[in-house]
Amino acid sequence: MSRFRHMPWAIALVCVVLGFMLSMQFKVQQQVQLTDLTAMSRAQDLAQQLEQAEKARDESMAELEKLRQEMTKVIQQQAGFEDLGHQLEEAQRAAGLVALAGPGVVVEMRDATRPLAPGETANNLIIHDGDVLRTVNELFAAGAEAMSVNEQRVIGRTEIVCAGPVVIVNGIRTAPPIVIKAIGDPEDLEMAIMMKDGIAEYLRGYGIQITVKRETNLTVPAFKGSLKMQYGTPAQ
């Protein structure tokens, strides 16, 4: 009987130990479950973040492609504007609206100083518009790219007329000496004036003084008059 006297305590102790072990197992299972849930939630968060990052990347790539296309258009437009700018610059140069510099010749003409011959009029001793026009035409025919007469730019609409002893160029009255500046090949331009039976020989026959000087760099001013047209319009 004494051997079984302590059995309730032993059973109680075993029960306590079993209860403690069951409690610990339950807690461990809960922690494992919580860990699994946390890991799953973390994985879901990471998946959402990855999806958002991929979406943002795709949107950025699309925006980048759009910007590239717009930049290409801007570059093409800029190239077109530059081409138009070059064309405008060429047109302004051809129209005489900008000053030009380069090699060429300076032709100077002065009235004759010799005495009148018997029966001769004073008109033979002075420079006329025809003399200036012929000189200008000879220079243009020899390849002159730009020209001025007493600092008045000569263009397609330039008028050169006489008014007594003076010459009117672009509506501006000017008196001798007449100084013509022409940009082009100096040798060709000089030859055009000084050739045999040319304008220089013709004018010297009347005593008109004419000289031609080659220049490595001279400046021809821009046309300062009006280019407004009253009757002409672009043809269809």
Residue 12's pLDDT band, with cuts at 50, 70 and 90, is low
Do you know the residue count of the chain?
236
Residues 111 and 214 reside in one and the same domain: yes
Residue-level pLDDT at 51: 76
Assign 5 a pLDDT band (cuts: 50, 70, 90).
Answer: low
Confidence check: pLDDT of 43 > 70:
no
Please report whether residue 2 resides in a domain: no
The residue segments making up the domain with residue 53 are: 9-93
Q: At what angle do helices 129-141 and 186-194 cross, to 10 degrees?
A: 140
Question: Is 120 in the same domain as 198?
Answer: yes
Question: Looking at residue 197, which CATH number applies to its domain?
Answer: 3.30.70.1880
For the range 121-127, what are the long-range contacts, defined as Cβ-Cβ under 8 Å and sequence gap of 24 or more?
124/206, 124/207, 125/206, 125/207, 125/208, 126/165, 126/176, 127/167, 127/176, 127/178, 127/208
pLDDT of residue 4: 45
Phi-psi region of 120 (alpha: psi -120 to 50; beta: other; left: phi over 0): beta
Write out pLDDT tens, residues 27-37. Answer: 656 665 666 66
Between 97 and 198, residue with greater pLDDT: 198
Q: Are 172 and 178 in contact (CB under 8 A)?
A: no
**Model confidence at 26: pLDDT above 70:** no
CA pair distance 56, 181, nearest whole angstrom:
69
* Domains identified in the chain, total number: 2
Query: Would you say residue 233 has pLDDT above 70?
Result: yes
Collapsing DSSP to helix, strand or coil, 88 comes out as helix
Q: Does residue 234 sit within a domain?
A: no
pTM: 0.67
Give the model confidence (pLDDT) of 92-136 as tens digits: 777 788 999 999 999 999 999 988 888 888 888 899 999 999 999
| Residue type, position 44, single letter | Q
Q: Is the peptide bond before 234 cis (omega within 30 degrees of 0)?
A: no
CA dist 201 and 133 (Å) reads 16
- Find all residues with CB under 8 Å of 207, minimum gap 6, and list them: 112, 113, 114, 124, 125
The single-letter code of the amino acid at 106 is V
Same domain, 104 and 215: yes
pLDDT, residue 219, reads: 96
Average pLDDT, the chain: 83
204: in domain = yes
Tell whether 233 is covered by a domain.
no
The pLDDT-based confidence of 3 (bands split at 50, 70, 90) is very low
